Amino acid sequence: MYSGIDVVDIERFSDRIEANAALMQRLFSADELDSCKGALPSLAARFCAKEAALKVLGQADVVARTACFGSGDGAGCAAVVSGLDDGAGVAGLNFRDIEVTSRPGQAPQLRLHGQVAAWAQHLGLHSWRVSLAHDKVAMAQVWASGGPTEASRKVSSHDATLARYLLKPEADSHKYSRGVVRIIAGSQRFPGAGLLCVAGASHSGVGMIRLNAPERVENLVLAAHPQIVPDGSALTGACDALVLGPGLDAQKADWEAAAQLLENTPAVIDASALEPVCALVKEGKLRLRAHHILTPHDGELARCLNLFAGTDTDKTAGEIAGKLVDKADKPLGKFAFEISSALQRRIQGAQQLAALTGACVLAKGNRTVVVGADSQVHLLPAATPWLATAGSGDVLAGLMGGLLALNVRAGAGHVGATVASAAALAPEIAQLAARLHALAGQLAAETTSPKAAEATGPKTTYATGPKSAGVVVTHPITAPEIAAAIPNAWALYASAAAN
């Protein structure tokens, strides 16, 4: 059972309504206005009920995310703000979709419609009840039954539907049937990026890794991963997917040659490659498609949008996105009440970059956002902050590229599809790679202390698997440790999704 309470001063409510007559139409349905006959105390009580209902939804959402991802970030409740200023309430949600009606001699009824109803159903909330009161202040309390159960939270946090892309080898499998990924990464200045990218790909299940890198990088990688095939600067040899960008020297790279390879190859475009590739798209020298995945962090996202918008490079992604399209045309839908301003900018920026390039966009952050070429938004659960370490993104890019190659090849071999399958795969593979990467970081950062009194550091309650008796504490990690934890994350993810 979840409950929410809200109180509003009737005089303040009346002042706001008088100052903005259009608020009445934005806040209340025709049925609500008709049943209240314009009585402001009754309308104020109904407004309280709407805000109380949003608080219930926010509470259930935080519980769902906390089950597997620690203590949560509190965004669910914190972002439920008053809709008295403009009637919009929570971004993307219509206050009229929360309707409180009453008939003479009957208790008031709360009904949900549209996006609000869909999100309540997603959280398993049902049997809504409401109590209204008004004197000098208006007050409402709302209750709902159901909500995320322990079992449903476990599967939801791991997203069982994505586990089908964790392909195990069959009896007749060979290295080519498991896919080939080409990695173009590393430079004299950033040799480690190539190594970390290969490390991520090595644990993806892909059958072969080809590497294009300077000799210094090749030698470094071969010492740790002798199974890779070094190709030097030659872009020959077939591959099912490409990873382009980690640690590259953006000034020296032959981007137009890489663009020719990109045209018809599913790819992960990361780090140093993002801005040059976006510039080629803007100039009409390259066409990205739905099977390409762009992976910017917030700063890279802003700079990529800047190339299209022609604004200053210090603008945020959200500010730049606002110049490209009216934000009101891009509602945030079911995610609205867990959105911080930074996350809202990330979502809007990712939507715009996907629209401008025709590619899938994975916008990295504590709450990673994936937007497919079809503009559908996927908001991932909060990840451990310990992932914010140098080289972490290189591991993610390699893991993603390997998973993409593995599944593109599987689709080509089993259903006769090639690039077309990758277009549908891209948003799914992007989500899966980010979730596996987050889980690997979580596992790498955990230590179980036998006694609570001896434990130091931030305590967590990650439901990642059976733990010995004691207190789970977290600690700093490095990118190689994240890569090393991927096999355990792979197995745990597949196991959790199967249960």
- Which residues sit in the known binding site for (6S)-NADPHX? 193, 247, 297, 394
Q: Is 189 exposed, middle or buried (0-12, 13-18, 19+ CB in 10 A)?
A: exposed
CB contact at 8 A, 315 and 306: yes
Distances (CA, A) of 126 to 62, 65, 122: 17, 19, 10
Residue in this structure with the two tokens 């663009």, named with its chain if needed? 259
Residue in this structure with the two tokens 């200045």, named with its chain if needed? 189
3-class SS letters over the chain = CEEEEEEEEHHHHHHHHHHCCCHHHHHCCHHHHHHHCCCHHHHHHHHHHHHHHHHHHHHHHHHHHHCCCCCCCCHHHHCCCCCCCCCCCCCCCCHHHEEEECCCCCCCEEEECHHHHHHHHHCCEEEEEEEEEECCEEEEEEEEEECCCHHHHHHHHHCHHHHHHCCCCCCCCCCCCCCEEEEECCCCCCHHHHHHHHHHHHCCCCCEEEEECCHHHHHHHHHHCCCCEECCCCCCCCCCEEEECCCCCCCCCCHHHHHHHHCCCCEEECHHHHHHHHHHHHCCCCCCCCCEEECCCHHHHHHHHHHHHCCCCCCCHHHHHHHHCCHHHCCCHHHHHHCCHHHHHHHHHHHHHHHHHCCEEEECCCCCEEECCCCCEEECCCCCHHHCCCCHHHHHHHHHHHHHHHHHHHHHHHCCCCHHHHHHHHHHHHHHHHHHHHHHHHHHHEEEECCHHHCCCCECCCCCCCCCCCEEEECCCCHHHHHHHHHHHHHHHHHHHHC
| Closest C-alpha to 477, from 188, 221, 205, 196 | 196
CB contact at 8 A, 64 and 347: no
User: Binding site for AMP: what residues are annotated?
Assistant: 364-368, 393
Q: Is 227 exposed, middle or buried (0-12, 13-18, 19+ CB in 10 A)?
A: exposed
CB contact at 8 A, 250 and 275: yes
Strand bridging mode 180-184 / 241-244: parallel
Q: What is the four-CA torsion angle of 342, 295, 400, 478, rounded to 10 degrees?
A: -70
